[in-house]
Amino acid sequence: MKALRRIATTITADHAVIRAWRVLTVLLAIAVGYLALAPHPPPGIDMGWDKLNHASAFTALAFSASLSCPGSRRARLLL
């Protein structure tokens, strides 16, 4: 757990980097929202199994959201 915290602190050490993670989180939320609600995924993005598509999309969204507010536990819980 300490190693993961050290990596997260290194990745989000600068305010510009945190802002970039926040922008990425918003863009991912838009993309994941579209792909989750679309009746048929685009052929280039489909992994072959619907549940795997959803799991990978929401994992990427959760990862970027957790890095977008590294110092605030309350903000991470709200996300």
**Mean pLDDT per segment of 10 residues, for the chain of length 79 residues?**
68 76 92 85 73 87 84 67
Write down the pTM of the prediction: 0.67
Q: How many helices (H) and strands (E) does the chain have?
A: 4, 0
**Distance in angstroms (rounded) separating the CA atoms of residues 53 and 76:** 24
CA atoms of 35 and 43, how far apart (whole Å): 12
* Per-residue model confidence (pLDDT) at position 48: 72
